[in-house]
Chains A and B, each alone.
Chain A
Amino acid sequence: MHDGSGRIVVQNLTKNFGQVAAVQNLSFQVEPGSVTGFLGPNGAGKTTTLRMLLGLVTPTAGHATINGQLFHQLENPARVVGAVLEAQGFHPSRTARDHLRVYCAAMGMPDQRADEMLNLVGLGSAATRSAGGFSLGMKQRLALATALLGDPQVLVLDEPANGLDPEGIAWLRTFLKAFAASGRTVLISSHLLAEVEQTIDQVVIISHGQTMYYGQLDELRRSQQSRVIVQPADPNKLVAALQEAQITNVTPMPEGRVAVVGATVQQIGDVAARAGVALYGVQEEKADLEQLFFRLTSGQYAAPGTQLPPPGQGQPQQGYAQPVGQQGYPPNQAPPQQFQQQGQQSGYHQPPPGYQPGYQQQGTPPGGWGPPPGQPPTGTPPGGWGPPPQQQQQYQAPQQDQQHGGNA
């Protein structure tokens, strides 16, 4: 039997489809109690990896386990792991309720579970409609209801936000956070960092089927040095004064502005005051995660033989946006956030008590989403959104020599 940990371990996973190396030597671990984002551009190997984890695709090498077991070793897998892989797996003339009841039977859940899940995802009123007539967003929600049928401990979602309206995305975000906060495991893939940025704690970024970054999202964020853009009265004088104060990473910019890295606004202000240079504008600029993500995963479509820049040696390179890219959303202003307030008006039912985000403070789950029977209670996750117990090393340095080995 499985160990009940809810941990996903992917180890040296490799898959070749003929000559195409879809996934190369991928390793990462997903801890219970957190939401892990699995990010990469289209074609990076995300779906293949998730399908190998779920036993749908046979790996060429390596393995992936859930609760310490390969998928096919799980006795009744749907009670351990639920998956949303694509919003297409429905018979067009079967109703939503019948669809769920088929799989209730397969996994030995009572039939009323079907209606409960339909209500949870906001499809209660569409229960008797054929899935063929559903919009993409409704199909996504039905897929989520299917994944949740077996009351699983681990949830794997492949691009679940596709086709969801902003309201649905906000609801999904709240739901997944609450789900993870109850000590369960969530692995969610996306090709857009901004889409999942506010949901995830941990992140695995892949490109070319290889790990580019693996660790806490906060670490990634912190690794970004901010820069300060200054509009001084006399740029040359300010630069000289800054260099005198050992602040050397200074770049001149158009219109007489100066970009300073490695100094706070206060430090710069003090230096300018001492040097007697008037400042007309000071603006601190946080590097954009999306830009960093883009750089980590760029070169996806590079010609074979092109050597990629080494992706991050211990620390990601400074993540400055190109001047054009400055319109990119700063992490705290991603537009979908505004929809979070509107959750009340939506057709989605509020998550049941067990799903409330505040829930992680409580010791015992108030029904519904406790640990599955037969498993020791996991108790309160340490510190809400804290890092998983053991700290992983932040980077999985990809092996460059293997990268283009098969392409020549």
Chain B
Amino acid sequence: MGRLISAEFRKILTTRLWWALAIPAVLLAVGWAWGVSAFVTDIADDVADSDLLATTGIEVSDMSWSVLALTRAMNIATIFPMVFGALALASEINRKTITTTFLTASSRASVLGAKAITYTIWGLVYGVVVAGAASLGTVLGSNPDYLPEGGDWFLVLMSGIIACVLWTLLGMGVGALLGSPVGALVLLLVYASFVGPVGELILFGVTEGSHLTGWMPNGSANGLTGATASEVLFGQVQEIVGNNAVLAQADIEDFDIGVRFAAGAPGAYSLWVSGLIFLGWTMIFFVSGLLRNQRRDIT
């Protein structure tokens, strides 16, 4: 297995794909985090200046609004590790290097196992890089008052890194299942960037704010990052409200839904539940892709 993992690393490092995807991932994460945090800062500044909150005694700067920028930026940048994973096996099938790969391994299962381990590591690498880029963008764009504390910051980044790893493996599973890079990329990109988010909005509206969207692959992935951010904000609100007791419980729940919406995860479950649901989706695609290749005739 060690030999095959080493071979997989060489395959990745001797071609350009890994940095060709890492560069736009970094640029997108920095830019997105910068833009969102600047936007959030503008709104929060406006709200802080209004009389509305003054009467409740809530300080807007007690809230770390910029976690929204962190989470949104990482969420959008997961597309790149997903593409990277999707090409792991599909491009080998397409370029026919899979023949030699299977001929030089003791079994197909060992090849796919080695790929799973290798791409988990690469998913982590992408996750860390994207986390760093999103943090940089957030620092650049945000009012320092709205930056989260170290612990919360770390929690959001961790959830983003886990999302990157799982998206990589999910992409790999879909690629292995379809066996075609174009098919896998079109399917994944259309779903992750259009069908998923729009469909979840519609589903969220139609089912009147149910958690159904949190069960979808994209919804649960967004929940993984989005719910973390909204929990941070929600916790802060509860703390403030606990001291004030001005806002009713219903308002707090409305706030929770609103913040989840703003974090890009309407109807999502909490961090751990979302993470487990998304892990389940990843496993479904990954295992079925693996089984598909166990039987595939390489002609």
**Contact status of A83 and B106, CB under 8 A, knowing A89-B96, A89-B97, A105-B7:** no
For the complex, what is the distance from the CA of A85 to the CA of B102, rounded to whole Å? Answer: 12
A108 to B110, CA, bound (A): 15
Given contact pairs A72-B107, A98-B14, A57 touches B297 in the complex (Cβ within 8 A):
yes
| Contact digits for A79-97, partner B, Cβ 8 Å, 1 yes 0 no | 0010101101111111100
Give, as a whole number of angstroms, the nearest-CB distance from A115 to chain B.
15
The chain A residue sitting closest to B9, CB to CB, is A105
Contacting pair B299 A89 (CB below 8 A)? no
- Return the CB mask of B82-108 against A: 1 if under 8 Å, else 0: 000000000000011111111111110
> In the bound complex, how far is the Cα of B298 from the Cα of A48, in angstroms?
10
Q: Which of B11, B14, B104 contacts A95 (CB under 8 A)?
A: B14
B16 close to A102 (CB less than 8 A): no
Chain A 331-344 against B: per-residue CB contact (8 Å), 1 yes, 0 no?
A: 00000000000000
B69 within 8 A of A: no
Contact B298 A106 (CB under 8 A): no
Tell me, in angstroms, the Cα distance from A321 to B223 when the chains sit together: 77
Q: Is the CB of A74 within 8 A of B106?
A: yes
Interface residues of A in 89-137 (CB under 8 A from B): 89-95, 98-99, 101-103, 105-108
Closest Cβ of chain A to B114, distance in Å, is 9
Report the separation of the CA atoms of residues A340 and B101 in the bound assembly, to the nearest whole angstrom: 35
Instruction: For the complex, give the distance between the alpha carbons of A81 and B102 in Å.
Output: 12
Q: Is the CB of B102 within 8 A of A90?
A: no
A331 to chain B, nearest CB (A): 34
Q: How far is the CB of A208 from chain B (nearest CB, A)?
A: 18
Complex CA distance for A49 and B261, rounded to whole angstroms: 58
Contact yes or no, A105 B99, CB < 8 A: no
- Judge if B6 is at the interface, Cβ distance under 8 Å: yes
When distances are taken between beta carbons in the complex, the residues of chain A under 8 Å from B298 are 51, 56-57
- Is A148 positioned at the interface, with any CB of B under 8 Å from its CB? no
**Complex Cα gap A287–B297 (Å):** 41
Instruction: Report A-chain residues with C-beta under 8 Å of the C-beta of B102.
Output: 55-56
Name A106's contact: one of B15, B99, B105 (CB within 8 Å): B105
Contacts of A72 in B (CB 8 A): 106-107
Closest B residue to A92 using CB positions: B95
* B103-A77 in contact (CB<8A): yes
**Closest chain B residue, CB of each to CB of A90:** B97
What is the CA–CA distance of A98 and B298 in the complex, to the nearest angstrom? 23
Indicate whether A98 sits within 8 Å of B96 (C-beta atoms), given known contacts A57-B298, A106-B101: no
Given contacts A103-B100, A106-B104, A106-B105, contact A98 B95 (CB under 8 A): no
**CB pair B297 A106 closer than 8 Å:** no
Contact A107 B104 (CB under 8 A): yes
CB atoms of B3 and A58 under 8 A apart: no
Answer whether residue A150 sits at the interface, using C-beta atoms and an 8 A cutoff: yes
Q: How many residues of A contact B (CB 8 A)?
A: 37
Identity of the chain A residue whose Cβ is nearest the Cβ of B105 in the assembled complex: A106
A88-B101 Cα distance, complex, nearest whole Å: 13
Partner of A105 from the list B10, B107, B295 (CB cut-off 8 Å) is B10
A258 within 8 A of B: no
Which residues of chain B (247-299) have a CB below 8 Å from chain A? Answer: 295, 297-299
Tell me if B4 is interfacial: C-beta within 8 Å of chain A: yes
Do A98 and B10 touch across chains, with their CB atoms under 8 A apart?
yes
A291 to B290, CA, bound (A): 48
Residues of A within 8 A of B107 (CB): 72
Report the Cα distance A90→B11, complex, angstroms. Answer: 11
Contact of A58 with B295 in the complex, beta carbons under 8 Å: yes
Chain B residues whose CB sits within 8 angstroms of the CB of A103 once the complex forms: 7, 100, 104
Residue A54 interfacial (CB < 8 Å): yes
Task: Tell me which residues across on chain B come within 8 A of A101, comparing CB atoms.
Answer: 10, 14
Residues of B contacting A58 with CB < 8 Å?
295, 297
Chain A residue at minimal CB-CB distance from B108 = A72
The residue in B7, B103, B106, B298 that gathers the most chain A C-beta atoms within 10 A of its C-beta is B103
Would you call B106 and A86 a contact (CB within 8 A)? no
Q: Tell me the A52-73 residues at the B interface (CB within 8 Å).
A: 54-58, 72
A109 to chain B, nearest CB (A): 10
Say whether A76 faces chain B, with CB atoms less than 8 Å apart.
Answer: yes
Given A93-B15, A102-B10, A106-B3, residue A83 in contact with residue B103 (CB < 8 A)? yes
Cα separation A51 to B101 with both chains bound (whole Å):
14
Please indicate the chain A residues that have their CB under 8 angstroms from the CB of B4 in the complex.
106
A146 located at the interface, meaning its Cβ lies under 8 Å from any Cβ of chain B in the complex: yes
* Nearest Cβ on chain A to B110's Cβ, whole angstroms: 10
- Collect the chain A residues with CB atoms within 8 Å of residue B10's CB: 98, 101-102, 105
Residues in chain B near residue A76, CB distance under 8 A = 106
Q: Write the nearest CB–CB distance from A264 to chain B, whole angstroms.
A: 51
Write out the residue numbers on chain B whose beta carbons fall within 8 Å of the beta carbon of A88.
Answer: 95-96
- How far, in Å, is B290 (CB) from chain A's closest CB? 16
Specify which of B3, B100, B106 is in contact with A89 (CB 8 Å cutoff): B100
Beta-carbon contacts under 8 Å, B1-47 to A: 3-4, 6-7, 10-11, 14-16
Do B14 and A102 touch across chains, with their CB atoms under 8 A apart? yes
Nearest A-chain residue to B10, judged by Cβ? A102
Rounded to whole Å, the gap between the CB of A197 and the closest CB of chain B is 28
Residue of A nearest to B17 (CB): A93
User: Is the pair A91, B15 in contact by a Cβ cutoff of 8 Å?
Assistant: yes
* CB pair B103 A54 closer than 8 Å: yes
Q: Are B99 and A86 in contact (CB under 8 A)?
A: yes
Query: Does A75 interact with chain B (Cβ within 8 Å)?
Result: yes
The distance in angstroms between the C-alpha atoms of A99 and B104, with both chains bound, is 13
Check if A23 is an interface residue, CB within 8 A of chain B.
no
Which residues of the other chain, B, contact A108 by a CB distance below 8 angstroms?
A: 3
| Interface status of A78 (Cβ within 8 A of chain B) | yes
Contact B15 A105 (CB under 8 A): no
Flag if B299 contacts A48 (CB, 8 Å). yes
* Interfacial chain B residues near A47, Cβ < 8 Å: 299
Once bound together, how far apart are the Cα atoms of A93 and B107, in whole Å?
27
How far apart are the CA atoms of A95 and B105 in the complex, in Å?
21
Which residue in A48, A92, A105, A146 is a CB contact (below 8 Å) of B100? A146
Contact A56 B297 (CB under 8 A): yes
B106 touches A77 (CB 8 A): yes
Given contact pairs A56-B102, A105-B10, a sample of 8 additional A-B residue pairs in the complex whose CB atoms are under 8 Å apart: A72-B107, A77-B103, A78-B103, A78-B104, A86-B96, A95-B14, A103-B104, A150-B104
A-B contact pairs, 8 of them (CB 8 A): A54-B103, A57-B299, A58-B297, A86-B96, A91-B11, A103-B104, A105-B10, A106-B4
Closest 8 CB pairs of A and B: A106-B7, A98-B14, A56-B298, A105-B7, A106-B104, A78-B104, A105-B6, A89-B96
